[in-house]
Amino acid sequence: MWNDLKGLAEARDGRRIETLFAEDPARAETFSVTAEGMLFDYSKTQIDAEVMDSLLTVARRAEVERRRDMMFAGAKINETEGRAVLHTALRNLEARPVEVDGQDVMPGVLDTLARMEELAREIRGSDITDVVNIGIGGSDLGPKMGTLALAPWHDGPRCHFVSNVDGADIADVLKSCPAQTTLFVIASKTFTTIETMTNARTARSWLEGQGVSPEGRFVALSSNLAKAGEWGIPASRVFGFEDWVGGRYSMWGPIGLSMMIAVGPENFRAFLEGGEAMDSHFRRAPLEENMPALLAVVGIWHNQGMGHGTRAVLPYENRLSRLPAYLQQLEMESNGKSVAMDGTDLPYNSGPVVWGEPGTNGQHAFYQLIHQGTRVVPCEFLVGARGQEPHLRAHHELLLANCFAQSEALMRGRSLDEARAKVADKFEGDELDRQARHRVFPGNRPSTTLIYPALDPRTLGLIVALYEHRVFVEGVILNINSYDQWGVELGKELATALGPMVEGRESAAAKDGSTRQLLAYAQQHMT
């Protein structure tokens, strides 16, 4: 089937996307889908009816619909860890029963949500001025991305996010926090992550150093209740979640607490409602009209069909500036694997390298490569029809114009003749030709655009859940377990072993030459 996709891609080599529009006046509507008020337009790609038919056949053969239903029903589809995958239960506000091992998980989920809301209200009504979320990966990226995205709704205490074990991170944050009125939220599914536990200890010592008792100053978000308890955090301040919530899928539950404190429980619920609405669309819409499934097959087409190994996520929404980083974990930790579910080597590329920055900033940085580089980078634009700052309408009009212009420029490009005409008044002869060639844009570069009315709590929920399900569908098609992350383990083990060598307590003689040299250099310059 992969060869079929590659064959289809080869057969379309050199065909201009613009021609597809000229040939089919309804192309934009045909190759677009709407869901929950959002429009996903994938018409500025090489996808045509035959390609879409093949992509959907690939999805159906992979049994995307059956696997989806298994996920929602609590089946243990994370086979290498023997776990269900039920982040969707965290936003199942209608409390449809969801069973794991014969037990409905919903009473527990809703009880924890109610406790979180109670604490959030208490803190928002207290003298706490600053909340510091200490966590990393999925215990940082989601709430950090979401809190920034919802800045207009942020009426609670200031929120800070500390993730890096580099002491510079926590040091910079603590500089602006008054010890008397700061609350620390330790967010760690395992409660063993070295970066988080190191930062948490530093926070505790800092409080003590400032003469403030740590009692009542810490909250824990974890699925390891025992470890959180050992840390001395009372049970009333520990918010648990089950192992069926993957770290990178966890911002909907306790890991979202900092965001809830920032924007308030009502807005957090609106975020959950957005996720729930996208779940409902994903579960019910036929694949042809299913936004996450279509986003996924467009990704499969570009990566496995056309052979473009990266994709750029380009939000024309400044407050989504952390979305690319969030999606890097969501997509790359989920689908960056080289073995299939049965342990055999994948005979095709796994998920793409995901990267990006908000427009228009990216335009003045790396878009040069996107437009004229030798590699093709499929681009995924996101933009709200309305900006979050309605009184600055002129800004938003410019933003929209820039966003639409980029996808048009990527598709159309600029021919040599057009480039010549641009500089004909300045150069002539061979020099005109040479100068013009630098100004040629090959065009025919694929992009998609997700446009929504405006970024608000509910829309954020829709967008995050859309991408989660996209990752799921791509993973099913690739026959990958999207829910484990063994690839992060080796580095952690080696770092633990290297610790005593960095400190000079253990010999590094058995290490390779490069590692020994780096250690020696560091030790020489450390003091």
Ligand X SMILES: O=P(O)(O)OC[C@H]1O[C@](O)(CO)[C@@H](O)[C@@H]1O
CB of 174 to ligand X, least distance (A): 20
Closer CB to ligand X, 198 or 349, in the complex: 198
- Known catalytic residue at 364: yes
CA distance 174 to 217: 14
Q: Pick the catalytic residue from 333, 380, 468, 474.
A: 333
Residue 42 phi/psi, 5-degree rounding, is -115, 25
CB of 193 to ligand X, least distance (A): 3
CB of 143 to ligand X, least distance (A): 12
Q: Pick the catalytic residue from 215, 397, 492, 503.
A: 492
CB of 334 to ligand X, least distance (A): 10
> What residue ranges bind ligand X (CB under 6 A)?
136-139, 188-190, 193, 196, 247-248, 333, 485, 488
Residue 480 near residue 486, CB atoms below 8 Å? no
Closer CB to ligand X, 365 or 488, in the complex: 488
> What is 429-472 written as a DSSP string?
HHHHHHHHHHT-B-----EEEEEES---HHHHHHHHHHHHHHHH
CA distance 510 to 501: 11
Closer CB to ligand X, 235 or 488, in the complex: 488
CB of 75 to ligand X, least distance (A): 21
Residue 264 near residue 147, CB atoms below 8 Å? no
Closer CB to ligand X, 36 or 484, in the complex: 484
CA distance 187 to 136: 8
CB of 155 to ligand X, least distance (A): 28
3-state secondary structure of 505: coil
- Known catalytic residue at 474: no
Closer CB to ligand X, 206 or 241, in the complex: 241
The CB-side HSE value for 403 (13 A sphere, CA atoms) comes to: 26
CB of 77 to ligand X, least distance (A): 17
Distances (CA, A) of 207 to 186, 195, 395: 15, 19, 43
CA distance 268 to 62: 35
Q: Rounded to 5 degrees, what angle do the CA atoms 449, 451, 453 make?
A: 175
CB of 339 to ligand X, least distance (A): 18
Q: Which among 326, 466, 316 has a CA at the least distance from the CA of 386?
A: 316
CA distance 227 to 222: 9
Distances (CA, A) of 477 to 6, 29, 257, 401, 481: 15, 26, 33, 36, 11
Q: Pick the catalytic residue from 23, 94, 175, 364.
A: 364
CA distance 259 to 377: 33
73-86 burial code (b ≥16 CB/10 A, e <16): ebbebbeebebbbb
Closer CB to ligand X, 188 or 290, in the complex: 188
CA distance 443 to 15: 11
Closer CB to ligand X, 362 or 475, in the complex: 475
Closer CB to ligand X, 46 or 485, in the complex: 485
- Known catalytic residue at 337: no
Residues involved in catalysis: 333, 364, 492
